[in-house]
Amino acid sequence: MNIDKINTETEANKFSKQTEYMEKIKRYLSDFEQDTGRKQTYFVFTTGCQMNAHDSEKIAGMLEEMGFLRSLTEEDADFVIYNTCCIRENAEVKIYGRLGRLKHFKKTNKNMKIALCGCMTQQDVVIEKLRKSYKYVDIVFGTFNLYKLPELLYTNLETNETVFDIWKEEKGIVENIPTILEYPFKASVNISYGCDNFCSYCIVPYVRGRERSRKKEDILNEIKCLAASGIKEIVLLGQNVNSYGKNLNPPVSFAQLLREINELDGIERIRFMTSHPKDLSDELILAMKECSKVCNYLHLPFQAGSNAILEKMNRKYTKEKYLELINKIRSQIPDILLSTDIMVGFPGETEDDFLDTLDVVNTVGFSTAFTFIYSKRTGTPAAVMDNQIDEKTVKDRFNRLVDAVNKKIYEIHSGFVGKTLNILVEDVSKQDENIVSGRSENNCLVHFPGNKDIIGQTVPVKITGNKTFYLIGERI
Ligand code: SAH
Ligand code: SF4
Ligand code: F3S
């Protein structure tokens, strides 16, 4: 796969200090190459959301800039980085398990350095555990100081001691971090960091800090650069994109930002996530309708259908308000497809509460839905609420939810059979090199015959079949 290097062109800033450390590591790596006849390699393992995936693109960017080569396997890499998520307990369990395995690899590969970063390391309990039971981890940093990786690695190389560097909050947004994109035709762009909503179940505000918006000019400049390098689709990222810019001076609305991005040459598709229903304005619906490049697709998590549960979740809307909003969006943009996040098993959830959730699923009809079992996160208000739901009841509700969701997905996708969709081709199938997959503007996943040469192209595809989670078709 082609890999592009993007260096956002903004004023000189904090990252420039790191370039000194990058130079030092470059020299260290070139000495290593002279001694051994090979380059050092890195492997980044990422869990969690697109925010983390994009952070990993920055980690890869810094490492390659210093002279590391990407390794396809973890066990023989010289530098292994786990960029972690802690949204649910099983995300953490997975990382500890994988770290245990890595200990054995490190025994046979003496050069191996291990770094842990991301949301998980922002929790004191995790740091304690690492200090006590995972002494072989070399570098631990958090979500606010990712840009310091060169300095932290250099310190570790000099001292050979574990480096812990966790900040409680960010000290200003850092621009100019070199980035290596996963795909040469689509890119994620941060528009805001952190979250101020404090949904009662959620750990994100504690590990990602208060909401900060990037300056509009920095965002536009980055997108111009991306367009110039051949990027066709951008995904704007924020925990709640709808509240983008309210603390900027002067304030900028998300709708305004979308309109300006829509004017930029080269970009064909604009996506964004995530939207909080409480902040989705009429101005934004109008901007989505009027901006030709903004995709007819909206990810709008509703979490739960019961008003009592929504209140306890601190979501600040009711079932009725959510459904009203959906109607309003559909009346303005009739062919829009909707996706959502749904949770079952929140403390105190009764059967009737759950039926309200099913009702929203059946009333709206989502083309995609991410379904979760509530996971208790220490430090959040929900963790100490009464009536945590037993596992059997939760599993039963979860299965019923998934059945309802899938039935609707199948119905919605059936409506596309016989139609033609423009597909931006993303990947070749792992099982068959003569099958490719890509996405329509409204985010339907489509598989059809083709080969790697058309990756990154937008092609018309006639839909011939419905496999629930994806469609099949033929290029016309
Ligand atoms: N900022 C986004 C989502 C961030 S987390 C938003 O507000 O929509 C992605 C999803 O994980 C959430 O929408 C929620 O459904 C789920 N989630 C968050 N905390 C969780 C928890 N403690 N247990 C289970 N699922 C959770
Ligand atoms: Fe978590 Fe709520 Fe913020 Fe989303 S809006 S990140 S669910 S606190
Ligand atoms: Fe996970 Fe952090 Fe994203 S907790 S969901 S990686 S913001």
**Per-residue pLDDT reduced to its tens digit, 282-315:** 999 999 999 999 999 999 999 999 999 999 999 9
Residue 203 pLDDT > 60: yes
> What is the arithmetic mean of pLDDT over 151-158?
96
Cβ neighbors of 53 (< 8 A, separation 6 or more) are 46, 182, 188
DSSP-assigned letters across all residues of 82-98? EEE--SSHHHHHHHHHH
Residue at token pair 């420039």: 16
Looking at the structure, give the CATH architecture of the domain made up of residues 11-165: 3-Layer(aba) Sandwich (3.40)
Residues near ligand 1 (Cβ within 6 A): 87-88, 201-202, 204, 239-240, 274, 276, 301, 303, 341, 343, 372, 374-375, 377
Mean pLDDT of the residues in the chain: 95
Query: Average pLDDT of 204-209?
Result: 96
372 sits in which H/E element: strand 368-373
Nearest ligand 2 atom, CA 303: 7
Q: Closest by alpha carbon to 137, among 116, 160, 167?
A: 116
Residues forming CATH 3.30.750.200 domain(s) in the chain: 303-414
What would the mean pLDDT of 269-288 be, rounded to a whole number?
Answer: 97
| CATH fold label, 181-295 | Transcription Regulator spoIIAA (3.30.750)
Q: What is the pLDDT of residues 17-58, one digit of tens each?
A: 899 999 999 999 999 999 999 999 999 999 999 999 999 999
If you average pLDDT over residues 354-370, what whole number do you get?
98
Q: What is the DSSP string of 184-209?
A: SSEEEEE-EES-----TT--HHHHH-
Q: Does position 318 have pLDDT exceeding 70, yes or no?
A: yes
Task: Delimit the CATH 3.40.50.280 region(s) of the chain.
Answer: 11-165
Over residues 257-267, the pLDDT tens digits come to 999 999 999 99
Locate the ligand 3 atom nearest the alpha carbon of residue 143 and give its number: 2
**What is the arithmetic mean of pLDDT over 451-463?**
96
Residue 213 confidence (pLDDT): 96
Mean of the pLDDT values across residues 96-111?
92
Q: Chain centroid to CA 139: how far?
A: 23
Are the C-beta atoms of residues 87 and 204 closer than 8 Å to each other? yes
* Rounded-to-integer distance, Cα 263 and Cα 168, Å: 38
**pLDDT at residue 74 greater than cutoff 70:** yes
Give Dmax over CA atoms of the chain in angstroms: 69
CB distance 103 to 75 below 8 Å: no
Concatenated DSSP letters of 408-460 = HHHHHHHTTTT-EEEEEEEEE-SS-TTEEEEE-TT--EEEEE--GGGTT-EEE
Residue 469 has pLDDT above 50, yes or no: yes
Over its C-alpha atoms, the chain yields an Rg (Å, rounded) of 23
- The class that CATH gives domain 420-475 is mainly beta
The pocket around ligand 3, CB under 6 angstroms, is made up of 48-49, 51-52, 85-87, 119, 204, 207-208
Give me the CATH topology for the region 303-414. Answer: Transcription Regulator spoIIAA (3.30.750)
| pLDDT (0 to 100) of residue 15 | 81
pLDDT digits over 404-451, tens only? 999 999 999 999 999 999 999 999 999 999 999 999 999 999 999 999
pLDDT at 13: 60
CA distance 152 to 134: 18
Q: Is 338 helix (H, G, I), strand (E, B) or coil?
A: strand
Please tell me the pTM assigned to this model. Answer: 0.94
Predicted confidence band at 6 (pLDDT cuts at 50, 70, 90)?
Answer: very low
pLDDT the model gives residue 70: 97
Spell out the alpha helix ranges (H) of 145-266: 149-159, 204-208, 216-228, 254-262
Q: How crowded is residue 327: how many other Cβ atoms within 10 Å of its Cβ? A: 12
Question: In degrees, to the nearest 5, what angle opens at C-alpha 79 toward C-alphas 52 and 93?
Answer: 50
Dihedrals φ, ψ of 51, to 5°?
-60, -45
The answer for residues whose C-beta is within 8 angstroms of residue 340's C-beta and 6 or more apart is 299, 300, 301, 302, 364, 366, 368, 369, 370
Supply φ then ψ for residue 132, to 5 degrees.
-85, -50
Is residue 11 pLDDT above 80, yes or no? no
* Closest protein CA for atom 7 of ligand 3: 204
Atom of ligand 1 nearest to the CA of 303: 15
CATH 2.40.50 residue window(s) in the chain: 420-475
